[in-house]
Every structure is written in C-alpha cells, then in structure tokens.
Amino acid sequence: MESHVWVNCAVALLVLAALAAAWRLRRNVLWREAGRELWRRRPFALAIVGLYTLFALLDSVSWVDAAGAGVREPRSLLVRAFPADFQEASYSAPLADVEFYGGEPLTHPGAHWLGTDILGRDVFLQALRGARVALLVGGLTSLIAIPLALLFGVAAGYRGGWVDDVVVFVISILFAMPGLLLLIALIMALGRGPVQVCVALGVTGWVSFARLARGETLKLRELDYVQAARALGVSELRIVLRHVVPNLMHLVVITFVLTFSGLVLSEAVLSWLGLGIDGSWGQMIDQARDELSRDPIIWWNLTAASAALFGLILAVNLVGDAVRDVLDPRTLRERA
C-alpha cells in the first residue's frame, strides 16, 4: 500500500480515538464541568484552535485521482478545495493580475489572495497546509513523549528502589544536555524527516513530564484510597491503572497544551537550521529571509507564514493558561 493510504488510516484512527476519549471524559462530572468552564472562558481561542485542527485534518486525507483524470499524485481534500492547476510560474503579489517580475499575465488573475511563492504556489494554500505540519509536530511528539513519561514516571514513583534510581539517573542525564543541541544531535544521528523530528522532540521532551509524574505518583501512593486498595488485595497493576494514572490525567492535559506551542516554535528553529519538516511555517519563514533582501521586497510569504504561526501559538497559549486554571486543583481551591 502507498504511504498516503497509511496516513489516511492513521488519521481516521486518531480521530476515532480522540472522539472516544472525549466521550469517556464527558461521562465524568468533573471533566464535564471543566470543559464547560474552559469553553466559557476562552470561546474564541478554542474556536481558532478548532479551525486550525480542521484545516490540518482536511489536508491529511488525500487520494489519487482515477487514471486519466488529472494529476497522478495524491492530493488532499484541502488542495482539492482550490482549482486543480492553481499554479503560476513564479512570484506574484497578493491579488495581482500579472507576475511580479516580468509582468506576464497570470493563469489565475486576482485569485491568489496572498500571492504566490518562488515556485508559483499559492501562499494562502501553503499557509493553511502548514497547520498540518504544526499539529503533526505537536501531536505526534506528545503521542511519543507522554506515554513514555507516564510509564517511567509512574514506575519510578510507585515502585521506588532500583527502578526509581535508574529512572532518576536517566532523567538527570537527559536533563543535563542542552535541549536544542541534544535535539540537533538526535536529528543528525537519526536522519532528517518528519517522523525523525518528532521522535527527537519526544526524546528530549518526555523528561520534564516524567519528573512531574514521578513526584505526583509519590504523593498519590500514600493516599488513603490507594492504601485501602492495597489492603483489599488489589493487584499492583490494577492499582496503578485504576487509582494512580487517572489521577494524573489532569497533568497530562495541562502538559500537552502548555508544551504544544513550544514544540511548534522549536520546529520553526529547526527549519531555520535546515533540519525541519517540509511544508512547515518555519520553512516558509526561512525562505523569506532571501526575499526580504530583494528589491522590491517580497513580503507576503513571510507575513502569511508568521501570521499563521502567531495565530495558532497565541490561541494555544491562551487555551493553555485557561486549561491550567480550570484543571489545577490549587487554583480551583483559590477560586472557591
């Protein structure tokens, strides 16, 4: 099977898993309350994040046209929303009728809202497609880092002894290495590509959450209901899964949202170092460095990518603060 089919299946699976998780959480009154409070506090930011997610999903589902009908490479739903040959020869200004250099008439005059880039691709479409890369970086990295952190953090905190020593030692090793350098070293050793970048971000990113999860597990382990479960003879694995991990879930959600923006911004830095993911906003910004030194300058590529990046990061930052306020028991007590 071809790669885009796998991607389609993975996306469908992820959406189903996310819906199932949301359905489970809705049945719990505390989570439902928290969700309602979050929506009450940050409706716009949530809507913007939702919009970006929608574009990312639309760009993730793709298929190849039947033989003889148009392009022979997979095109996503998002790309199909635009005309099939939405392509010029090179740069054109926003809403222009002619090419930027030379003044040849465009094939789609006035249709490129944000102009076209050096290869003649529509900048508006490219900026929308960047959402997929951003969510891939944030989402896939979290899918790698959070289970890893939970596994090691909970194991260390709950079992103690040599398990704890080993985990703490590994954490302090990874923590000692400077983050960006470790990231770069990992990508250079693993090779370049989207999955490699996410794995590298995951390896550097799981450490701080593992520390948090370990500390929280140490506290939870001593609580009365855990002791009671142990006295009743509940198996260790069941105690961890039923009584410890569910009580870490609010930290999982908080960490996921708060680290998300940092991950997307790191990808932009990596793009600039030539280690990023194709099609990201970071790469668009990186290209724009040369365009600003042209005369007259090409500003739309940089502006579109920066605005798209800024919009997502700002919305996620705002949602993140609200999520922390809503889910953190300490601030809940202050509100009461």
* 222 to 261: interface string for other proteins, x by CB under 8 A: ---------------------------------------x
Judged by beta carbon, residue 247 or residue 306, the one nearer other proteins is: 306
The single residue among 58, 282, 319, 322 that binds other proteins, judged by CB under 8 A, is 282
Tell whether residue 18 is a contact of other proteins (CB under 8 A): no
Listed in sequence order, the residues at least 6 apart from 22 whose beta carbon sits closer than 8 Å to its beta carbon are: none
Tell whether residue 289 is a contact of other proteins (CB under 8 A): yes
Instruction: With beta carbons less than 8 A apart as the criterion, state whether 37 and 321 touch.
Output: no
Task: Please tell me whether residue 188 adopts helix, strand or coil conformation.
Answer: helix
The single residue among 38, 275, 277, 326 that binds other proteins, judged by CB under 8 A, is 275
Tell whether residue 294 is a contact of other proteins (CB under 8 A): no
Cα distance between residue 305 and residue 78, in whole Å: 17
Structure tokens at 271: 């793009």
The single residue among 57, 96, 140, 309 that binds other proteins, judged by CB under 8 A, is 309
The single residue among 11, 269, 287, 324 that binds other proteins, judged by CB under 8 A, is 269
The single residue among 68, 103, 274, 296 that binds other proteins, judged by CB under 8 A, is 274
DSSP for 146-179, written as a single string: HHHHHHHHHHHHHH-HHHHHHHHHHHHHHHHS-H
Structure tokens at 336: 């009461």
Listed in sequence order, the residues at least 6 apart from 332 whose beta carbon sits closer than 8 Å to its beta carbon are: 326
State phi, psi for 282 to the nearest 5 degrees.
-60, -40
Tell whether residue 306 is a contact of other proteins (CB under 8 A): yes
Nearest to 258 by CA among 334, 320, 308: 320
Judged by beta carbon, residue 137 or residue 275, the one nearer other proteins is: 275
State phi, psi for 76 to the nearest 5 degrees.
-85, 170
* 166 to 205: interface string for other proteins, x by CB under 8 A: ---xx-xxxxxxx-xxx-xxx-xxx---------------
Task: Please tell me whether residue 92 adopts helix, strand or coil conformation.
Answer: strand
> How many residues make contact with other proteins (CB under 8 A)?
41
Q: How far is the CB of 310 from other proteins (least distance, A)?
A: 6
Instruction: With beta carbons less than 8 A apart as the criterion, state whether 180 and 269 touch.
Output: yes
List residues near other proteins by CB under 8 A: 169-170, 172-178, 180-182, 184-186, 188-190, 261, 265, 268-269, 272-275, 282, 285-286, 288-289, 292, 302, 306, 309-310, 313-314, 317-318, 321
